[in-house]
């Protein structure tokens, strides 16, 4: 049996960019190590989820790890909460939230409280509370955005939004959309009553009013989702798994399936991350773990910024950092791919397929010599992200035979 | 409408082998006929079941014949029984079995009866019986292994094992795991009481004890499975089908779906089979049948033996034997593939995809000129085994239009 390494360059895939004379960032990057691994590996294209789907990082990572999002993904609530660094456990119910402004009659004046950007961490922290043994945790996001996670037994996500989604309308009382949601709705309403009282009296809001800004005196909830009860990774694959990633959404997801999270100094989840530090941590982790997933977020960040030069340089840094992987192929299977494309020309995720390579000693090689979107189209494989774990398992001699 | 031929070189696929200077057995083989058919055909790679799955010959042949194993495969019991040459009919329940040794208290001393290898055919034959109209048949396998098939109405496979799976524990009374299993469990317990009595008193065991060997005085049952009620091949495809194969698992499976089995003198299911005889039988069969599946097992045998030179020579013999197929393409569609890979370096099935070619007059051709794992990666198709029959049906002008 071999060890297994899955390197994900987040949002790796791209489209031809005029700044790069019609090349993609990956094509334009100096990438001798990626090319070498491609030349001794089995390459191809991977559809995130399935052909044409514009996946998020949450759904694509679920799928990459072999958890079919079409079966287990329960909406953005729990995964946005993970992304903000909140702990989300199976059975927890999470909402996406806004800090908004209401008048004295509870009518919404501004769903974004003048796009409040400062001090939301104080507001969020003031809303953590326990009601009847249920724990409520709020975490701020970018600008007016936030998330709420409720922890406790027997919760249901079959509840309506408190957010009326329109200015001029009163905030809604949360209601169960099914019998099972009634009790959760009551709990949420009790929480909101306290929370909105706390916000109304928060010193930050007094200051905002004095400064001529709308107060963030109301938490608007939408998109309740229940955290799925995912089979632990170790149980599903008989592998002890670890995760190295700079962003909470990925570490949170891996934590949810029972992986250990390895912290690396200087791993920021940005383009200035500690590229070598993460690989060193991976090599170290392989001494005690069977499987390590490593996410570099910088490629996605550069894609969202629409900066192909930056994306190219992130890829070049990754290429240099992964050099030691060439020396562990005797007893390790390495896969390198993106979780989806984030074309710089689009500044958002596309539904394109992305290059993928599998490499280990003794395996089949195809004729691909370069690791990029176009070269890998000539590779051996065209698969969906849900197939990746099966492929890694068989290459690492960890699969059970299906049949006789 | 054309006739249809499916040639399966069992375990055909392989990985680079140092003995063959980094080539696969198929790449290294002198194979002018395979290459010719590839050069005038449509080629590609086929994932057994789906990408990364390490399939057995049973599941992969089911899938190749268009029966989705994820819907119809009911465990190894029925298919191992088929593999030993037992007749298994829809509704039959089959167990995998061991000849083991118990002490006078029914405690298991050895689950393999000193790995008994001689005379098990006598022991097995002595256990065939009928109870309340239910027919029990036992067939010996390799060493201590065997299978039991029960034939009769209303049987259930929802029953526990009699095998305690551990030395030092008493053999288990078989129990129903669901209501439906109660009656079957009772029948099996009655059978086992008689069977173990017969074994205890069998002259072979008296001789073993005298020789200082543990007696095979107990049949340990595990992994009950009910033979699936598969739609007959002729009904599913409106084709009259025949099977030419040297191994009982394949003939048994084809028999289960109502195909005729054509016996060929010298067809051994080994590397010394009658290569030309099987092709002659196929050409003869095409006069009366619409579809013929022909399995050469030698490639798989050589793979399990880890012998790439032998595998190469098996492929060369197949190549020479199939030469006459070049002359029937006007009114026949021929597909050639493996059911899975059995890399010599692994001595077992891998989850790699395998080359496949489809050839008939007037069809599309791709640019592939050689039939092997690497060349076919450049071919037109990347499919799963479940897609093969649909492709054969459309090429042979036998498909119904889906829609208007």
Query: Which tens digit of pLDDT belongs to each residue from A306-344?
Result: 999 999 999 999 999 999 999 999 999 999 999 999 999
Residue A31 banded pLDDT, cuts 50, 70, 90: very high
Counted across chains A and B, CB pairs separated by less than 8 A come out at: 87
DSSP for residue A349: -
Q: Are residues A220 and A252 in the same domain?
A: no
* Geometric angle at alpha carbon A297, from A294 and A301, rounded to 5°: 170
Two structure tokens written together for B342: 């059995």
B158 by Cβ neighbours in 10 Å (0-12 / 13-18 / 19+) ranks as: middle
Question: Residue A310 domain-assigned?
Answer: yes
For range B158-171, the mean pLDDT: 94
Question: Residue A404 domain-assigned?
Answer: no
The confidence score (pLDDT) of residue B75 equals: 80
Residues of B in contact with A401 (CB under 8 A): 54-56, 348-349
Domain holding B161, by residue range, is: 78-226
Distance CA B386, CA B356 (A): 13
Q: Is A404 on the interface with B (CB under 8 A)?
A: yes
Q: Are residues B114 and B261 in the same domain?
A: no
Q: What CATH number is associated with residue A379? A: 3.40.720.10
The confidence score (pLDDT) of residue A142 equals: 85
Q: Is B51 on the interface with A (CB under 8 A)?
A: yes
Predicted confidence (pLDDT) at residue B90 exceeds the cutoff of 90: no
Domain endpoint, select from B196, B226, B256: B226
For range B163-178, the mean pLDDT: 94
C-alpha distances in angstroms, A81 versus A77, A92, A139, A150? Answer: 6, 11, 8, 11
Residue A93 banded pLDDT, cuts 50, 70, 90: very high
Tens of pLDDT, residues A105-143: 999 999 999 999 899 999 999 999 999 999 999 999 888
**A333: distance to nearest CA of chain B, Å?**
14
Q: Are residues B253 and B377 in the same domain?
A: yes
- CB pair distance less than 8 Å for A394 and B50: no
Question: Residue B401 domain-assigned?
Answer: no
Residue B162 banded pLDDT, cuts 50, 70, 90: very high
Distance CA A299, CA B73 (A): 44
Nearest by CB to B54, from A363, A364, A394: name it.
Answer: A394
A123-128 CB contacts, 8 Å cutoff, 24+ apart? A123/A99, A123/A199, A123/A202, A123/A204, A123/A216, A126/A198, A126/A199, A126/A202, A127/A195, A127/A198, A127/A199, A127/A219
Residue A65 banded pLDDT, cuts 50, 70, 90: very high
Q: Are residues A247 and A355 in the same domain?
A: yes
Mutation for testing the A interface, residue in B15, B16, B52, B342 having most A CBs under 10 Å: B52
Q: Is B80 on the interface with A (CB under 8 A)?
A: yes
Distance CA A44, CA B401 (A): 32
A115 by Cβ neighbours in 10 Å (0-12 / 13-18 / 19+) ranks as: exposed
Predicted confidence (pLDDT) at residue B150 exceeds the cutoff of 90: yes
DSSP for residue A147: E
Q: Are residues A98 and A196 in the same domain?
A: yes
Predicted confidence (pLDDT) at residue B36 exceeds the cutoff of 90: yes
Distance CA A382, CA A395 (A): 17
Burial string for B239-278 (b: 16+ CB within 10 Å, else e) reads: bbbbbbbbbbbbbbbbbbbebbebebeebebebebbbbeb
Question: Residue A402 domain-assigned?
Answer: no
Q: Are residues A235 and A368 in the same domain?
A: yes
DSSP for residue A186: H
Question: Residue B403 domain-assigned?
Answer: no
The confidence score (pLDDT) of residue A76 equals: 82
CB B305 within 8 A of CB B8: no
For range A87-96, the mean pLDDT: 93
The confidence score (pLDDT) of residue A367 equals: 96
Residue A404 banded pLDDT, cuts 50, 70, 90: confident
C-alpha distances in angstroms, A263 versus A273, A277, A279, A289? Answer: 12, 10, 12, 15
**A355: distance to nearest CA of chain B, Å?**
16
Predicted confidence (pLDDT) at residue A148 exceeds the cutoff of 90: yes
Question: Residue B400 domain-assigned?
Answer: no
Distance between terminal CA atoms of chain A? 20
The confidence score (pLDDT) of residue B80 equals: 85
Residue B99 banded pLDDT, cuts 50, 70, 90: very high
Two structure tokens written together for B311: 């595998």
For range A70-84, the mean pLDDT: 88
**Higher pLDDT among residues B372 and B76, named by residue:** B372
Domain endpoint, select from A226, A244, A264: A226
Question: Residue A101 domain-assigned?
Answer: yes
Counted domains in chain B: 2
Nearest by CB to A380, from B52, B348, B377: name it.
Answer: B377
Question: Residue B344 domain-assigned?
Answer: yes
Q: Are residues A8 and A32 in the same domain?
A: yes
Average pLDDT, chain A: 96
How many CA atoms lie less than 13 Å away from A169 in the CB half-sphere? 9
Q: Are residues A248 and A330 in the same domain?
A: yes
For range B292-321, the mean pLDDT: 97
C-alpha distances in angstroms, A309 versus A9, A13, A298, B350? Answer: 16, 14, 12, 41
Contacts of A290 (CB under 8 A, 6+ apart): A1, A3, A4, A239, A240, A241
Q: Are residues A65 and A98 in the same domain?
A: no
The confidence score (pLDDT) of residue B248 equals: 87
Q: Are residues A67 and A86 in the same domain?
A: no
Q: Is B113 on the interface with A (CB under 8 A)?
A: no
Predicted confidence (pLDDT) at residue A75 exceeds the cutoff of 90: no
Residues of B in contact with A329 (CB under 8 A): none
Domain endpoint, select from B226, B243, B278: B226
- CB pair distance less than 8 Å for A363 and B50: no
Tens of pLDDT, residues B264-291: 999 988 999 999 999 999 999 999 999 9
How many CA atoms lie less than 13 Å away from A202 in the CB half-sphere? 26
Residues of B in contact with A362 (CB under 8 A): 15-16, 345
Distance CA B338, CA A190 (A): 64
Two structure tokens written together for A158: 């079959």
Residues of A in contact with B80 (CB under 8 A): 404
- Within 10 Å of residue A211's Cβ, how many Cβ atoms? 8
Q: Are residues B241 and B382 in the same domain?
A: yes
DSSP H stretches of helix in B3-161: 25-28, 32-39, 57-64, 69-72, 76-83, 120-126
Q: Are residues A87 and A64 in the same domain?
A: no
For range B66-91, the mean pLDDT: 90
């Amino acid at each position: 049996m071999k060890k297994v390494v899955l390197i994900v360059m987040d949002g790796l895939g791209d489209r031809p960019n005029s700044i790069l004379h019609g090349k993609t960032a990956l094509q334009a990057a100096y990438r001798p190590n990626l090319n070498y691994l491609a030349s001794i590996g089995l390459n191809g294209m991977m559809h995130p989820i399935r052909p044409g789907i514009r996946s998020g990082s949450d759904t694509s990572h679920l799928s990459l790890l072999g958890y079919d999002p079409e079966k287990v993904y329960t909406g953005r609530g729990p995964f946005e909460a993970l992304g903000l660094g909140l702990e989300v456990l199976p059975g927890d119910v999470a909402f996406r939230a806004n800090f908004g402004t209401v008048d004295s009659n509870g009518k919404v004046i501004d769903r974004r409280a003048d796009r409040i950007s400062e001090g939301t961490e104080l507001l969020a922290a003031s809303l953590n509370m326990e009601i009847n043994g249920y724990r409520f945790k709020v975490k701020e996001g970018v600008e007016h955005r936030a998330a709420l996670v409720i922890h406790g037994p027997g919760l249901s996500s079959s509840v309506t939004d408190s957010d009326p989604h329109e200015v001029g309308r009163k905030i809604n009382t949360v209601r169960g959309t099914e019998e099972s949601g009634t009790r959760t709705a009551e709990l949420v309403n009790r929480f909101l009553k306290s929370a909105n009282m706390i916000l109304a009296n928060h010193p930050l809001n007094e200051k905002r009013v004095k400064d001529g800004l709308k107060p963030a005196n109301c938490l608007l909830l939408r998109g309740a989702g229940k955290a799925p009860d995912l089979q632990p990774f170790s149980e599903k694959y008989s592998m002890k798994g670890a995760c190295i990633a700079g962003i909470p959404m990925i570490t949170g997801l891996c934590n949810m399936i029972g992986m250990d999270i390895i912290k690396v100094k200087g791993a920021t989840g940005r383009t200035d991350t500690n590229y070598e530090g993460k690989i060193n941590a991976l090599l170290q982790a392989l001494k005690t773990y069977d499987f390590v997933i490593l996410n570099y977020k910088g490629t996605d960040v550069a894609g969202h910024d629409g900066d192909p030069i930056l994306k190219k340089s992130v890829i070049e840094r990754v290429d240099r950092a992964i050099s030691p992987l060439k020396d562990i192929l005797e007893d390790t299977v390495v896969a390198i791919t993106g979780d989806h494309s984030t074309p710089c020309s689009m500044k958002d995720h596309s539904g394109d397929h992305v290059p993928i390579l599998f490499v280990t000693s003794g395996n089949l090689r195809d004729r691909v010599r370069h690791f990029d979107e176009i070269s890998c189209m000539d590779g051996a494989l065209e698969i969906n992200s849900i197939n990746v774990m099966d492929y890694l398992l068989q290459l690492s001699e960890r699969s059970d035979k299906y049949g006789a």
